[in-house]
Structure 1
Amino acid sequence: MKKYELMTIYPLEDEKSKKGAEDVKSTLAKFGAEITEEKPFGDRDLTYQIQKQKKGRFVLYTMKLNPSKITEIDKEFKINMNLLKYQFVRLDEKESK
């Protein structure tokens, strides 16, 4: 298993952001990801509109994950209407220690 960071952006509405976060965590758990840290970054302006939204709620997850599962997780995230944008970044072994 490799270490990854996942930056997510949810809509500002509380119910949508909570539902989006729950869906993200359940999808990650479904594919065997071990979330080691969840760090809210707060509400921020978006560089460009996403789904007619000008602001979003940012959350950063740090996790351990099998790299072969990212494609499957990506497919699930694309159909999550409460998740505006996301990006996986693999952490180098030197950075993660």
Structure 2
Amino acid sequence: MRPYELTVIFPLEEDLYQEGREHLLTDLKDHGAEIEKTDEIGDRDLAYEIKKRRRGRYVLFTLKLDPAKLQTLDRVFKLNTNLLKYLFVRIEE
């Protein structure tokens, strides 16, 4: 298990945000991720338009995950329409 930071941008609409967050947490737990910390950064302007949206809700997750499952999670997240963007970054120990 390696430590990662996962930054996710959700839509601003509360129902889309809640639904996207629930799917994301379920997908992470199904793939054996251990969520250590969750930071809600808040609503911010996007640098460029994503799926016809100019603003998004940023959330930062600190988690531990098996590196072999990272590619599978990437495919699963692409199917979640309530995620505007996401980025996994490995934390150096």
Q: TM-score, structure 1 length as denominator? A: 0.95
Aligned partners of 1:25 and 1:37: how far apart in 2? 12
1:1-97 paired onto structure 2 within 5 Å: 1-93=1-93
Deviation at 1:76, TM superposition (A): 0.5
Give distance in 1, aligned partners of 2:60 and 2:14: 17
CA distance in 1, matches of 2:20, 2:9: 9
Distance 1:44 1:51 in 2: 15
Q: Percent identity?
A: 48
**5+ unaligned residues in a row in structure 2: which ranges?**
none
> Any idea what the Cα deviations from partners look like across 1:9-58, whole Å, max 9, x if unmatched?
00000000111111111000000000000100000000000000000000
SS of the residue 2:55 aligns to: strand
* Structure 1 unaligned residues grouped into runs of 5+: none
Instruction: Report the number of matched residues.
Output: 93
Cα displacement string for residues 60-89 of structure 1 (whole angstroms, at most 9, x for unaligned residues): 000000001010000000010000000000
**Distance in 1 separating the partners of 2:9 and 2:61:** 11
